[in-house]
Amino acid sequence: MKKLLSVVLSAAMLSSVMMIASCGGSDAPAETSDTGGMAGREEPLVMATNAQFPPYEYYEGSEIVGIDAEIAAAIADKLGRPLEIEDVEFDSVLAGVQSGKYDMGLAGITVTPDRQQSMDFTDSYATGVQSIIVKDDSPIASPDDLSADGASYQVGVQLSTTGDIYATDDFGADRVQQFQAGADAVAALMADKVDCVIIDNEPAKSFVAANEGLKILDTEYAVEEYAACVAKGDPILEQLNTAIAELKADGTIDSIIAKYIPAE
CA 239, distance to chain mean position in Å, is 20
Residue at 2 is within a domain: no
Which helix (H) or strand (E) covers residue 60, if one does?
Answer: strand 58-60
Amino acid identity for residue 109 in this structure: I
146 and 75 assigned to the same domain: no
17 and 99 assigned to the same domain: yes
Distances (CA, A) of 97 to 92, 101, 120, 140: 8, 6, 10, 37
Q: What is the pLDDT of residues 70-116, one digit of tens each?
A: 999 999 999 999 999 999 999 999 999 999 999 999 999 999 999 99
Residue 264 banded pLDDT, cuts 50, 70, 90: low
170 and 209 assigned to the same domain: yes
Residue 43 banded pLDDT, cuts 50, 70, 90: very high
**DSSP string of 226-260, one letter each residue:** E--EEETT-THHHHHHHHHHHHHHTTHHHHHHHHH
Task: Using the predicted structure, report yes or no on whether residue 18 has a pLDDT greater than 50.
Answer: no
The whole-angstrom separation of Cα 132 and Cα 222 is 10
Residue 2 banded pLDDT, cuts 50, 70, 90: very low
Residue at 200 is within a domain: yes
Q: Identify the DSSP state of 87.
A: E
The pTM (predicted TM-score) of the whole model is 0.73
Domain that holds residue 46: 11-125+227-260
Q: Which residue has the higher pLDDT, 187 or 40?
A: 187
Does 235 sit behind a cis peptide bond, omega within 30 degrees of 0 on the bond before it?
Answer: no
Give me the pLDDT at residue 263, please. 72
Q: How many domains does the chain have?
A: 2
Give me the pLDDT at residue 10, please. 36
Residue at 108 is within a domain: yes
Amino acid identity for residue 15 in this structure: S
The whole-angstrom separation of Cα 37 and Cα 194 is 51
**DSSP string of 116-144, one letter each residue:** HTTEEE----EEEEEEEEEETT-S--SHH
103 and 232 assigned to the same domain: yes
Q: What is the mean pLDDT of the chain?
A: 87
Q: What is the pLDDT of residues 208-217, one digit of tens each?
A: 999 999 999 9
156 and 169 assigned to the same domain: yes
The whole-angstrom separation of Cα 48 and Cα 109 is 11
Give me the pLDDT at residue 250, please. 97
Residue at 89 is within a domain: yes
142 and 237 assigned to the same domain: no
Give me the pLDDT at residue 211, please. 96
175 and 110 assigned to the same domain: no
CATH of the domain at 117: 3.40.190.10
17 and 36 assigned to the same domain: yes
Q: What is the pLDDT of residues 148-199, one digit of tens each?
A: 999 999 999 999 999 999 999 999 999 999 999 999 999 999 999 999 999 9
The whole-angstrom separation of Cα 116 and Cα 198 is 23
206 exposure class (CB count in 10 Å sphere: 0-12, 13-18, 19+): middle
